[in-house]
Chain A
């Protein structure tokens, strides 16, 4: 009974991936067969080749990487500083500020696009990496703070106390004591925010309009949503591009499984 449930679960979760991978190595003309083929028949790398020729794949990949890495570093840095103030200094109103931060999660991202677009246009931030990184790090900031503040509150104050008595100043304190103590939480949030940013669609779609700034997610959507471009949805290319997009994520997930789980669950479960 339990085994059956586990197997059913594995099937439902993994089958779509199998299907995407299978399609990406199947020649285009064989994708449109009835019934569909369930196993690799004519293994081919052609889809990947055509994909690399038809869009600047390497460029998009690098863009995604810079965008995701930049956003995760900036968001965690900003969240670290803010959580220190909120968790350690505990000034009057700290808790209100914390709650307001967390509540701002609820502001729907798409609702602010128009003013942001005008603002970015006027400040020449459209099609810039720093503009995109700013938007994305702000988007994941509330969640990051939500995780970091309780984490910091749990850590005993004694070590920092000892350092202060030894005459450490705040920057030294941060660098030698607080950062190392918080490392597991910070690394976790770096990875989670990286994954979230890597998967992000709306911001790059709206604010990276030139070919040189587009990310993989935008490239994928462009292939998928423009039936008039090449005449249809090129499933051969879409599946190949999907694979390109999820492989780095899979590697991260498998390597850092434990960290990610601890980070994702800490918000809701304390």
Chain B
């Protein structure tokens, strides 16, 4: 077979041609080294320094920044809200995303249009969602309080109250991200062979148990993948809090990513910001390890 032979020769030649492989990978690896790997290591280095460009010079201070971290309410509150924000958001997104997927998987008039609508929240900028919802949550002029007032006669000072602000931020995030999760889960649902359900029907399983015994186990790998993706993605999220609450009231909605930005670029305290970044790296690292362990359990391959 000449074709096989040619293929063999080509791949052999290519495999030995390290230059070619290198050149093909160069742009991608170069970009990642330059903008992700180098900054990562340099952040570690900077976190042991006192460095404020308006107050030179740069000084090695050992663990000083890390000691300061432990006493800084801004940071400790950020850690707790970041974790709460990510865990609650992700769980809600998966539950509601599942509901969306189940609805969109049924046949009804105008399904194509509804699926297109489902894409919109994913596609718009987070800052637009943040700014829009901020306005809708306004205690006095906001539409949400007006609707609440009309239906159950209460007004909630959403962005003033400690838990009100937290709920509002998480709800906005869930609104923005759930349709994306729904989209992925819908694709997963579509991949389930229909005859499994028919077999189930013959055995007399109803819809609800079919969901728990057939659907859920089959799409578990996708749920775990998208869950981990959302966790990692949202741990670094910054725009929402920045444009919606500024971390307030107090530090009720402060997240690590925004705190890093504030300390670095509003106060120019580069050394300390790097130390807070290390906390974020650790949190992401822990989340990834847990995620990968789950991967192994449900046998996901990349």
Contact = CB atoms under 8 A, between A and B. Distances in A.
Interface of A: 2-3, 5-6, 9-10, 12-14, 16-17, 19-20, 23, 31-36, 77-79, 81-82, 84-86, 88-92, 97-99, 101-119, 134-135, 137-139, 141-142, 145-146, 157-158, 161-162, 164-165, 170, 195, 198-199, 201-202, 206, 217, 220-221, 224-225, 233, 235, 238-239, 242, 245-246, 249-250, 252-254, 257, 260-261, 264-265, 267-269
B135 interface: yes
B126 A201 contact: yes
Contacts of A16: 129, 132-133, 136, 175
B135 A23 contact: yes
Contact of B31 (A35, A107, A137): A137
B179 A13 contact: yes
Interface string B25-41: 10111011011111110
Contacts of A254: 116
> Could you tell me the dominant secondary structure of chain B's interface residues?
helix
The 5 closest A-B pairs by CB, nearest first: A112-B39, A115-B42, A108-B236, A265-B187, A82-B28
B3 A165 contact: yes
A238 B135 contact: yes
Given A89-B15, A116-B39, A161-B7, A20 B128 contact: yes
B140 interface: yes
Contacts of A268: 184, 187-188, 222, 225-226, 229
Q: Find the residue from A90, A99, A115, A260 having the highest chain B CB count within 10 A.
A: A115
B27 to A, nearest CB: 4
Contacts of A118: 42, 270
B15 A91 contact: yes
A207 B106 CA distance: 46
A99 B288 CA distance: 13
11 contacts: A88-B14, A115-B43, A157-B7, A201-B239, A220-B125, A224-B130, A239-B132, A249-B123, A253-B119, A254-B116, A264-B122
B168 to A, nearest CB: 13
B136 A14 contact: no
B121 interface: yes
A199 B180 CA distance: 15
B141 A32 contact: yes
B191 interface: yes
Interface string B272-287: 0110010011001000
Interface residues of B, number: 97
A113 B42 CA distance: 10
A164 B35 CA distance: 36
A245 B46 contact: no
A254 B120 CA distance: 9
Contacts of B43: 111-112, 114-115
A202 B183 contact: no
B200 interface: no
Contact of B261 (A20, A32, A110): A110
B123 A269 contact: no
B141 A33 contact: yes
A161 B11 CA distance: 10
B193 interface: no
Q: Find the residue from B34, B39, B183 having the highest chain A CB count within 10 A.
A: B39
A225 B248 CA distance: 13
Contacts of B117: 10, 13-14
Given A19-B132, A85-B24, A119-B42, 9 more contacts: A6-B103, A9-B103, A36-B143, A105-B232, A108-B281, A112-B42, A245-B128, A253-B116, A264-B183
B232 A106 contact: yes
A101 B264 contact: no
Contacts of A19: 132, 135-136, 143
A201 B42 CA distance: 23
Contact of A220 (B106, B131, B260, B277): B131
Given A13-B120, A134-B34, A165 B2 contact: yes
Given A33-B141, A238-B135, A201 B116 contact: no
Given A90-B11, A235-B135, A253 B123 contact: yes
B215 interface: no
Contacts of A14: 117, 120
Given A16-B132, A34-B141, A268-B184, A114 B38 contact: no
